[in-house]
Structure 1
Amino acid sequence: MGEGRKCRVLIVEDEAMISMLIEDMVLDLGCEIVGPAARLDHALTLALQAPIDIGVLDINVDGSVVFPVADVLRFRGIPFIFSTGYDARSLPERFCGSPTLTKPFSYKHLAEMFRGSLADAACTPDAFQLLD
């Protein structure tokens, strides 16, 4: 990644196989993984305390909605991307317009979302140059 530091990505996902896929994509982007968190309480702890540059948040985590985690990240000024297998139009009003990936999503779509969300960040994933 040249001179910058690696981006730290909070992954909140309760499905083990999907979490591993996202982890692989994040690592391929040259980023570090925070978590992953498969439960809301663990995700909240990480969102409150961990050094994070961006979050990838499954909307439904073990039967709970992830919106409290998104609220914490927003309060901390940390961008996040929702990932969901459901209709993104069902987001609460405060999250309308938030970056959202519909499962299943590709490496390229994730990288493009990162590029847009991390435009002003102190870190830049290595793989952005591959998108050009």
Structure 2
Amino acid sequence: MLDDEAEVRPLNLLVVEDEALIAMLIEDALTLHGHTVVGIADNVDDALALAEEHEIDLALCDVRLAKGDSGVDAALKLADRGVPVVYLSGNCPGSAGHPLILGCVSKPFHTAALHKSVAAAHAIAAGAKSDPPEALTLYH
């Protein structure tokens, strides 16, 4: 497991979350640890547009989005574009459906657990061996 925070470089992250307050809490938790949130999308189209505009190291997707959009669809489409994904949801899917959909962090979460989960997921996506923190359930 990555215990030394010096080992974790700041990452460019995309947050796909339709509830504004939760999105802000996620952004605050991530930026507190030096990461950059390149954007917050509340639907599939906005998530894909942000992925076209920015280099994204990892996306965090809620499963249920407003207006009938699906975070699962967003995750699959982002993964198809080469973006590793971790679900951040109170409704974690039972399986990934794509090798770049790495796992799920259940809501509610602690900010330190979110940071450790993001770092572990990014390391795993890059091919490193990393023991996931308890908060991160891996699919592979």
State the TM bucket, normalised to the shorter chain.
0.7 to 0.9
Correspondences of 1:58-97 after superposition (within 5 Å): 58-62=62-66, 63-89=68-94, 91=95, 94-95=97-98
- Percent identity over the alignment? 32
Correspondences of 1:1-132 after superposition (within 5 Å): 6-62=10-66, 63-89=68-94, 91=95, 94-95=97-98, 98-119=102-123, 121=126
Unmatched runs of 5 consecutive residues or more in structure 1: 122-132
User: How far is 1:75 from its partner?
Assistant: 2.5
Whether the 8 Å contact between 2:102 and 2:121 is mirrored in structure 1 is no
For each residue in 1:59-101, what CA deviation from the matched residue of structure 2 results, as whole angstroms up to 9, or x when unmatched? 1111311223222332233221101112533x5x615983101
Query: Distance between the aligned counterparts of 2:30 and 2:23, measured in 1?
Result: 10
The letter of the residue matching 1:20 is M
SS at the partner of 2:45?
Answer: helix
Whether the 8 Å contact between 1:58 and 1:66 is mirrored in structure 2 is yes
Query: Distance between the aligned counterparts of 1:45 and 1:87, measured in 2?
Result: 24
User: How far is 1:41 from its partner?
Assistant: 1.6
For each residue in 1:85-131, what CA deviation from the matched residue of structure 2 results, as whole angstroms up to 9, or x when unmatched? 12533x5x61598310111111122122112112165xxxxxxxxxx
Query: Distance between the aligned counterparts of 2:26 and 2:92, measured in 1?
Result: 20
> How many residues in Structure 1 have an aligned counterpart in Structure 2?
118
Whether the 8 Å contact between 1:47 and 1:69 is mirrored in structure 2 is no
Query: Distance between the aligned counterparts of 1:116 and 1:29, measured in 2?
Result: 14
User: How far is 1:39 from its partner?
Assistant: 2.2
User: How far is 1:45 from its partner?
Assistant: 1.3
The runs of at least 4 consecutive aligned structure 1 residues that moved more than 3 Å come to 95-98
User: How far is 1:47 from its partner?
Assistant: 2.6
Higher relative contact order (CA 8 A, sep 6+): 1
